């Protein structure tokens, strides 16, 4: 594989008529990074990925790959490869020929391209299926073939558009680990679009959370989770309560809330509306007197020490050092 290249987006925008899908974003992704573009539907993450790939023209701004401005280059000349959500395998070609297809289009001889395709199938553990057609494969197997096909051109950056969304939950977790392993082994930059917070947290070195066409926050998964900058980030990432106080909004992690029976404590009073056992913790939902909802994740020992049930009056408290101010 070639040396990985850094990617820089400079004031990059995408407009569709009067609608701005991506609004002058600036982003630098270091070489060899696993980056997840995260956010709700319509936030601009897929448009950003398609502009990097060259499948969408940028309305404004620049895309710099390594030391080259690739903004106006066609996809095949960018040093990127894209793996689509639908996998888009050719149904009439065998697994081997699907993987080798891009080299065939480049005029590479049959022996060489099939040899290279065989190497990639070995990498993704699909060698025994080389002679099968895509319809004879499971969803997870099709994904591996699509991944091998994207990698055969030796891209500097691999672009993945919601690659796990079509898989069942168990397989999604398994393939998540496979993607991370491959990225580490290959050493190239992966840019992965997802709307799944858990997926981004598990995979990324760099999480870029988008909202309304702009970057709301970026950083390592731990930075973004532990220090959300805004109420949007705290709510989207999950695991936080956004609480309005006299000094402004704060975020308190669900696992940092403590619950006490009755309304006599200093804190936020409310009534329990739901109790769910989640294995490693018990989730308790409280509706406050102001009508807001709080969620507490209590360890089994803490819950057993002060058990609560639906309808109970409780007070939620937290250590002031665990509260994080929001912009």
* pLDDT at residue 303, rounded to an integer: 93
Q: Check residue 14 and give its pLDDT.
A: 97
56 backbone dihedrals φ, ψ, rounded to 5°? -130, 140
Do residues 43 and 167 share a domain? yes
Residue 217 lies in a domain: yes
Q: Which of 226, 255, 278 is the last residue of a domain?
A: 226
Report the candidate in 24, 10, 83 with the shortest Cα–Cα distance to residue 49. Answer: 83
- Domain assignment present for 237: no
pTM: 0.88
The answer on 261 and 129 residing in a single domain is: no
The verdict on 212 and 293 lying in the same domain is no
Residue 122 lies in a domain: yes
Co-location of 307 and 278 in the same domain:
yes
Query: What pLDDT is recorded for position 247?
Result: 77
The reported pLDDT for the residue numbered 2 is 53
What are the structure tokens assigned to 118, written together?
Answer: 């065989």
Residues 41, 182: one domain?
A: yes
The last residue of one of the domains, among 202, 226, 250, is: 226
Task: Give, to the nearest 10 degrees, the angle between helix 95-105 and helix 139-151.
Answer: 20
Q: Say if strands 206-211 and 214-219 run parallel, antiparallel, or are unpaired.
A: antiparallel
pLDDT of residue 131: 94
Report the helix count and the strand count for the chain, using DSSP H and E: 9, 18
The low-confidence residues of the chain, meaning pLDDT below 50, are 1
Q: What domain count does the chain have?
A: 2
- Given this model, what pLDDT does residue 262 score? 85
Residues 170 and 248 in one domain: no
Q: Determine, yes or no, domain membership for 231.
A: no
Q: Considering the domain boundaries, does residue 176 fall inside one? A: yes
Question: Do residue 126 and residue 208 come from a single domain?
Answer: yes
Are residues 181 and 253 both part of a single domain?
no
153 and 299 together in one domain: no
What pLDDT digit, counting tens, does each position of 32-41 carry?
Answer: 999 999 999 9
Last residue of a domain, one of 200, 226, 252: 226
Question: Is 246 found in the same domain as 175?
Answer: no
Is 104 a member of any domain? Answer: yes
- The residue range of the domain holding 267 is 242-325
- 261 to 266, 272, 281: CA distances (angstroms): 12, 10, 19
At 72-106, the pLDDT tens digits run: 999 989 999 998 777 788 999 999 999 999 899 89
- CATH number for the domain that contains residue 255: 2.40.50.100
Same domain, 320 and 261: yes
Q: Are residues 32 and 75 in the same domain?
A: yes
């Amino acid at each position: 594989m070639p040396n990985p290249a850094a990617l820089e987006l400079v004031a990059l925008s995408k407009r569709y008529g009067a609608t701005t899908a991506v609004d002058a974003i600036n982003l630098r992704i270091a070489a060899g990074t696993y980056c997840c573009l995260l956010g709700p539907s319509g936030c601009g993450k897929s448009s950003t990925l398609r502009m990097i790939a060259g499948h969408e023209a940028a309305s404004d701004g620049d895309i710099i790959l390594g030391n080259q401005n690739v903004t106006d280059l066609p996809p095949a000349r960018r040093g990127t490869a894209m793996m689509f959500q639908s996998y888009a395998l050719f149904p009439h070609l065998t697994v081997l020929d699907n993987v080798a297809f891009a080299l065939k289009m480049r005029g590479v001889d049959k022996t060489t391209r099939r040899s290279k395709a065989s190497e990639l199938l070995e990498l993704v553990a699909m060698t025994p299926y080389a002679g099968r057609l895509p319809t004879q494969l499971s969803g997870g197997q099709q994904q591996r073939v699509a991944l091998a096909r994207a990698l055969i051109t030796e891209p500097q950056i691999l672009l993945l558009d919601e690659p796990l969304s079509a898989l069942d939950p168990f397989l999604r977790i398994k393939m998540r680990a496979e993607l991370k392993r491959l990225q580490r082994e290959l050493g190239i930059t992966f840019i992965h679009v997802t709307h799944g917070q858990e997926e981004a947290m598990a995979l990324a070195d760099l999480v870029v959370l988008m909202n309304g066409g702009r970057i709301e926050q970026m950083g390592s998964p731990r930075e973004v989770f532990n220090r959300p900058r805004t109420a949007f980030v705290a709510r989207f990432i999950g695991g936080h309560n956004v609480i309005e106080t006299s000094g402004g909004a704060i975020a308190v992690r669900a696992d940092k809330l403590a619950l006490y029976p009755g309304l006599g404590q200093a804190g936020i009073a409310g009534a329990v509306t739901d109790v769910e056992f989640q294995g490693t913790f018990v989730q308790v939902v409280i509706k406050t007197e102001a009508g807001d909802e709080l969620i507490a994740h209590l360890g089994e020992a803490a819950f057993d020490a002060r058990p609560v049930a639906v309808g109970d009056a409780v007070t939620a408290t937290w250590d002031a050092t665990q509260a994080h101010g929001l912009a």
